[in-house]
């Protein structure tokens, strides 16, 4: 038996401003830091030793994890991987979600945000929000820097990394992943065997640990959000 804990970063500055964030590297708000601290306390109550920690390259996920580790008094180094980054929102990056809904319609925005294989238009490489112009990604190969992504694209990179780097460890170890709404949705699609319609309806709350108990075959025995007041439906459980 092992445990996989998935947590979306606490509220970020652009979450608060209702902007499409994607690969732009913004930090947590005060509320986001408080959510991360509460997450750490809830995990601590479970008294589960975490053997491996993973996060994306992005500040909001990294700082969420650092706060959790501080609460747990755990100084293990964590692995950072661009494959766990948020979905890239193309030319929507930086725009306000409400303003875009008013401009092109709520249905169109929802289709872009939640459909399986629809991509926004690519983001111009001259745009300051393009990953090629963000210092966080200077060490990455240019071929790996996206202009836009669908949820399908995000799913493929996230689950490939999970299969190569994390899955085997879960046979005998407990793992915590601090990532993003869409990278965690992608993992949930794989873990819960969700279809494309189910994944469209899956909401991932900020700063709320989802703890998944697995047997030796990595089959799910039980799963739950630790913050009951902010839990969302898991679709299949």
Catalytic residues: 9, 86
Nearest-angstrom CA–CA distance, 102 and 33: 31
- CB burial of residue 228 (10 Å; 0-12, 13-18, 19+): exposed
Query: Under a CB-based contact definition with an 8 Å cutoff, are residues 180 and 85 in contact?
Result: yes
Nearest-angstrom CA–CA distance, 123 and 90: 5
Nearest-angstrom CA–CA distance, 34 and 16: 14
CA distances from 132 to 15, 160, 170, 183, 235 (A): 22, 23, 34, 20, 37
Helices (H), the chain: 13-16, 30-46, 59-72, 97-104, 106-114, 151-161, 181-191, 196-200
Query: Minimal CA–CA distance to 5: which of 208, 172, 212, 188?
Result: 212
Biggest distance spanned by C-alpha atoms of the chain: 51
């Amino acid at each position: 038996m092992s445990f996989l804990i998935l947590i979306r970063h606490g509220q970020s500055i652009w979450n608060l401003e209702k902007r499409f964030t994607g690969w732009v590297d913004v930090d947590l708000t005060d509320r986001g830091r408080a959510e991360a601290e509460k997450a750490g306390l809830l995990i601590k109550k479970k008294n589960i030793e975490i053997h491996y920690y993973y996060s994306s390259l992005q500040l909001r996920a990294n700082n969420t994890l650092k706060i959790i580790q501080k609460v747990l008094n755990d100084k293990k180094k964590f692995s950072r991987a661009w494959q766990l980054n948020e979905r890239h929102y193309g030319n929507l990056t930086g725009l306000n979600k409400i303003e875009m809904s008013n401009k092109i319609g709520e249905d169109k925005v929802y289709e872009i945000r939640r459909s399986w294989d629809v991509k926004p238009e690519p983001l111009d490489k001259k745009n300051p929000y393009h990953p090629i112009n963000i210092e966080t990604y200077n060490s990455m190969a240019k071929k790996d820097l996206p202009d836009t992504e669908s949820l399908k694209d995000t799913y493929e990179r996230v689950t490939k990394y999970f299969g190569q780097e994390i899955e085997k460890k879960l046979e005998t170890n407990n793992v915590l992943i601090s990532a993003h709404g869409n990278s965690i949705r992608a993992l949930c699609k794989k873990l819960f065997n969700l279809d494309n319609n189910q994944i469209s309806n899956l909401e991932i709350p900020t700063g709320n640990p989802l703890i998944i108990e697995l047997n030796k075959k990595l089959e799910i025995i039980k799963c739950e959000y630790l913050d009951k007041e902010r839990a969302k439906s898991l679709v299949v459980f």
